[in-house]
Amino acid sequence: MPTSPVASPSTAPERTRQLRRVALSGLLGTAVEFYDFLVYGTVAALVFGELFFPGADPAVGTIAAFGTFAAGYVARPLGGIIFGHFGDRLGRKSMLLLTMGLMGGASFLIGLLPTYDAIGVWAPVLLITLRVLQGIAIGGEWGGATLMVVEHAGERRRGLWSSFTQMGAPLGSLLSSLVVTFVVAMPRDQFAAWGWRVPFLLSVVLLGVGLFVRLKVVESPLFAEVKKDSAEARLPILDVLRRPRPLLLACCVGIGAFTAQSLLTSYMIAYATGIGYARPQVLTALTVSACVALVVLPCASALSDRIGRRPVVLAGALASAALAFPVLSLVDSKSPGLLILAVVLGHGVAQSTMYGPLGALLTEMFGTRVRYTGASLGYQGATLIGAGFSPMIAGSLVAGSGGGTPVALLVCGGSLITALTVLFVRETSRTSLADTAERNPAPHTEEISA
């Protein structure tokens, strides 16, 4: 069906130009998302316990700091519902401008927060409030950014193009590691006094660049068709919940990737420094891993266009489960070189192979009328279960056991959940996005089109 010139450029070069611009927008949006969250996770592991939760046992302070980390994840599904609703009703672009502004703004304000010594209990209250606002914004960011890329790509290499949004994760991790590496090199008293604020304040630079690019993006052509036909879902969340199978599968299939990501990046800083590594050594390992992930992600996503999403995600999940205990053994060796190898294998290779095709897979599991809501809720549900509580649970179990076995068990368990779920997800790499079916039958069953 023809679409408006504004929503669908008339020439092939202009369509390609718009696709590249949308892909860059998705990359920057996810980079802001992961930069903000990983900066918080890193700083929480280093100083937030003493700055915002003083007087507590050091282990308790760290757990409390990661509790505010989890608060951001708890808010994500709410953001998926809110922004998904309006994204499916009003359009993708306007919601993505709003989510990016809220994400960057909340991070910037965290950098300005007074500590407990200055305003008492209001310090952690304000910190948690900003984390919740940040989580709500992020809840609508990934789904909208990814589906914009996929819907603009149409039937052309959706996995490869969606990998740009996925690459925002290691890019955000790389930027956060570089900035934090710089500030932690400061004397301890200066870092605790003001140095920890610098990474949060610098997020405004990413925010400015991201908004500049996003303003030049046009609306999704598939949504423009739905809008033209006045076929928008009145309450997208109800349509998604009436047929909950795709949503439940989307949540479960992402658990392994997010469990591994949170434990082998943010939590690894607290764990590794706790057993004797210097902070720069841990941050170096995370930086190298992020560089490797920037290569593995697009390769895994492109491969999923050729052989399917399911085989690639399954291979990554099984590799992550198999490597969980060897990776922790390498970390426990207390060798800086083996620490780098461990994080590269567990996060840069195995986790990235799992994570790469998820953007296209989750987007393809829902029809255009509810795609923003469905993909957002599936993704954020996976992050809540897989990443939101993992650092806090790991911190509690490690404090009780004195060893890293609980971390390996959590990574292995999450990866096996993903591997099992893949067996119940139908292949979507050859599915037309024009198919508005909301069902997700089991593999090898007849595909139903609405």
Residue with tokens 């998302």: 33
Report if residue 302 sits inside a domain: yes
C-alpha closest to that of 394 among 62, 42, 120, 165: 62
Per-residue pLDDT at 302 exceeds 70: yes
Amino acid at 326: P
**Within this chain, do residues 268 and 200 fall inside the same structural domain, yes or no?**
no
**Within this chain, do residues 24 and 152 fall inside the same structural domain, yes or no?**
yes
**Within this chain, do residues 210 and 292 fall inside the same structural domain, yes or no?**
no
Per-residue pLDDT at 46 exceeds 80: no
pLDDT in tens, 390-445: 887 888 888 777 778 889 999 999 999 999 999 999 998 888 776 544 444 444 43
Band of the pLDDT at 190, cuts 50, 70, 90?
confident
Give the structural domain span for 242: 237-431
Instruction: Write b or e for each residue in 144-176: b if 16 or more Cβ atoms lie within 10 A of its Cβ, otherwise e.
Output: bbbbbbbbbbbeebbbbbbbbbbbbbbbbbbbb
CATH code, domain carrying 328:
1.20.1250.20
- How far the first Cα of the chain sits from its last, in Å, is 17
- The mean per-residue pLDDT over the stretch 102-110 comes to 90
Band of the pLDDT at 64, cuts 50, 70, 90?
low
pLDDT in tens, 355-365: 999 999 999 99
**Within this chain, do residues 242 and 214 fall inside the same structural domain, yes or no?**
no
Residue of 385 and 155 predicted with greater confidence? 385
- The mean per-residue pLDDT over the stretch 128-156 comes to 85
**Within this chain, do residues 381 and 243 fall inside the same structural domain, yes or no?**
yes
Can you tell me the distance from the alpha carbon of 70 to that of 73, in angstroms, rounded to the nearest whole number?
5
Q: How many CA atoms lie within 13 A of 332 on its CB side?
A: 14
Report if residue 227 sits inside a domain: no
**Within this chain, do residues 214 and 263 fall inside the same structural domain, yes or no?**
no
Instruction: Write b or e for each residue in 52-62: b if 16 or more Cβ atoms lie within 10 A of its Cβ, otherwise e.
Output: bbeeeeebebb
**Within this chain, do residues 185 and 252 fall inside the same structural domain, yes or no?**
no
Report if residue 226 sits inside a domain: no
Residue of 235 and 311 predicted with greater confidence? 311
**Within this chain, do residues 36 and 144 fall inside the same structural domain, yes or no?**
yes
pLDDT at site 3: 39
Residue 306 φ/ψ, nearest 5 degrees: -90, -45
Band of the pLDDT at 250, cuts 50, 70, 90?
very high
How many domains are contained in the chain?
A: 2
Residue with tokens 């930069």: 35
- The mean per-residue pLDDT over the stretch 147-152 comes to 87
pLDDT at site 248: 95
**Within this chain, do residues 186 and 244 fall inside the same structural domain, yes or no?**
no
**Within this chain, do residues 128 and 244 fall inside the same structural domain, yes or no?**
no
- Mean pLDDT lowest for which of 200-209, 229-238, 252-261? 229-238
- Residues in CB range of 89: below 8 A, 6 or more apart: 232, 233, 236
Band of the pLDDT at 382, cuts 50, 70, 90?
very high
Report if residue 443 sits inside a domain: no
Report if residue 201 sits inside a domain: yes
Report if residue 112 sits inside a domain: yes
Report if residue 178 sits inside a domain: yes
pLDDT at site 443: 44
Report if residue 5 sits inside a domain: no
Structure tokens of 188? 């301890």
